[in-house]
Chain A
Amino acid sequence: MFFYLIRRIAYGIPIALAVGFVCFMLVQIAPGDPINAIVPPDAPGDVVEQVRRDYGLDKPLPVQFGLWLLKVVQGDLGRSLASGRPVWSDLSSAIGNTLLLAACASLLGFILGCVLGGLAGTFRGSWLDRAAVTLAVGGVSVPHYWLGMVMVVIFSVQLNWLPAMGAGPGGSSDWAWDWEHIQHLVLPAVTLCVIPMGIVTRTVRGIIAEIMNQEFVTALRGKGLTQRGVFVHVVKNAAPTALAVMGLQLGYLMGGSILVETVFSWPGTGLLLNNAIFQRDLPVLQGTILVLAMFFVALNLIVDLMQTALDPRIKRG
């Protein structure tokens, strides 16, 4: 296990480097001189040349990548073109908001998915199964940005129950655990949770049905174990896979919340990205994507290690 841990982490390093390289290349593939991504378009020529030398943009590409990487590992993601502030200062608060939204949505999706998937897997072929499967297909097929709009139409415009925009009263982006703030979280979280709900339902339904068909379940029933006792065994067998799926979904939601955040003006990384795209603010785009992708790489690693630790059947030396 210890050696597996070391090996798995060691394997993550080249992946992280390569992800960094892809993010570095984002500015390179952008049309036009990458220098335009750093200095404002109206800067005088000698300033442009000065910045070009300072950033090492007159050097070959691999050297540039090395210089960029050196800055990034020191926490310097560059400066926003639009605001002039360091990218990290805006990003750090946005990351927190996105994490909060993604965590709530994936938790909600996980609970709903486990209940629906568990029922569907246990009562396979019943109307419960069909209803759960329909909901799951709906969950993975719905354009969630549209679902967000429908939610706003129903709960904000028609019923006037919940706010449609922002993360707190008066457009503040600082979070607090009171109803004033939580009511802003409800609609985005419910909207975002349909994807993990659909995927977890499908996965759990599959695993439960598979486990129920195994001989040890028949043996447990045969020796007279109660329905609840059998259920505990089934859950223990299904848990590692379900948890792994849920962990990865959190990562997908962190990266995928951009559309929902745009609909609800949620002050997270998605809104930051959206504004960066709109203003062609490439340093913000690059920094945000780098941090989100690194988070996803780390999460993949953690999920893998957790699954190995939780599931004694997986032996990795």
Chain B
Amino acid sequence: MADAISPTRTAAEAELAIQAAQEAGRSTGYWAGVWKRVRRDPVTIGCALVLVLMLLAIICAPLIAPHDPYQGSMIRRLRAIGTPNYLLGTDELGRDMLTRLLYGGRLSWFMGITPVVLAFVIGTVLGVLAGFAGGKINMAIMRVTDVFYAFPSVLLAVAISGALGAGIVNAILALTLVFIPPIIRVAETVTTGVRNLDFVDAARASGANAFTIVRVHVLGNVLGPIFVYATSLISVSMILASGLSFLGLGTKPPEPEWGLMLNTLRTAIYVQPWVAVLPGVCIFVTSICFNLVSDGLRQAMDVKG
């Protein structure tokens, strides 16, 4: 009898041991697991590297830029790409393109990322509040959100910054308002999902107040999905921020900014077309890298939707 059982028992024990080992491997932490999955994804790593290099380049612009971004010259306007001393040519006022692209990235990145960061903070607070409080508070917040959803996002951004007038602050304000409603929706949905789970009930039963429950039990479970969603907005935000400048609603000349440079170079497409489209290449590369990094993060963090 014992002989008949013992092999089965060892098999079961072995299986348990394997499971325990796997558990141990997993218990190195959620973020370690995410990092491990990201590391195996060459596209995400590649795009993240491009973004880091770009960020370094625009931060160090004063150190590495070969010329002055504002100093033009009428005798060397619109030189072609590859002109000695002016690697990427010159713009319509004879300013070095490489220099202006480096400096321009500063404003473009700032104007693209700031609205998403602000909207992430405000949208998370309001969305978690709506999801956790429920009832009338939820009604109030979500119905106001519905109204902003009734505008196509580009139109809303153009409407607000068009009414407020041109300027960096107004453009950032307009874009923040555009991104708050979708973040509220995501935050509300995930919070509602978490609120009804048993461990929240357990915390409440053990006497924790609402603030503690949100801080300890809810935020940790909802921040991940909201964060991933917010990163997916950076790409759109960069395009829209530069788009507002392109329409003359963001930065004002002679400030270098990719969207504005694209606008002022529009008349040059008949003379130096490939110089004129360069700022757009920068916007495109940044935007696509942010998009792919966000996709990679979504997969690595196993966020649905």
Contacts and interface: CB of A to CB of B under 8 A. Distances in A.
Interface of A: 14-16, 18-19, 22-23, 26-27, 29-31, 137-138, 140-147, 149-150, 152-153, 157-158, 251-252, 254-256, 258-259, 262-263, 273-274, 276-278, 280, 282, 285, 289, 292-293, 296-297, 300
A149 B269 contact: yes
B35 to A, nearest CB: 23
Contacts of B262: 145-146, 149
Most buried by B among A27, A137, A144, A300: A137
B284 interface: yes
Interface string B263-305: 0001001100110110111011001101110010000000000
Contacts of A278: 248
Interface of B: 143, 146-148, 150-156, 158-160, 162-165, 235, 239, 242-243, 246-249, 259, 262, 266, 269-270, 273-274, 276-277, 279-281, 283-284, 287-288, 290-292, 295
Given A146-B262, A149-B280, A153-B273, A297 B163 contact: no
Given A27-B163, A140-B291, A259-B243, A19 B150 contact: yes
Contacts of B164: 29-31
B154 A258 contact: yes
A152 B276 CA distance: 12
Contacts of A16: 150
A140 B273 CA distance: 24
Contact of A142 (B146, B247, B259, B284): B284
A146 B163 contact: no
B158 A30 contact: no
A277 B249 contact: yes
A19 B266 contact: no
B287 A255 contact: no
B150 A296 contact: yes
A269 to B, nearest CB: 9
Given A146-B284, A153-B269, A157-B273, A19 B155 contact: no
Contact of B276 (A19, A143, A149, A280): A149
A149 B258 CA distance: 14
A31 B151 CA distance: 22
Most buried by B among A29, A277, A280: A277
Contacts of B248: 277-278
A300 B150 contact: yes
Contacts of A263: 266
A147 B295 CA distance: 23
Contacts of A274: 247
Nearest to B286: A141
B228 to A, nearest CB: 16
A144 B246 CA distance: 11
Given A30-B165, A277-B158, A282-B163, A150 B277 contact: yes
Nearest to A276: B162
Contacts of A285: 159, 162-163
A289 B277 contact: no
Given A18-B147, A146-B262, A277-B249, A259 B163 contact: no
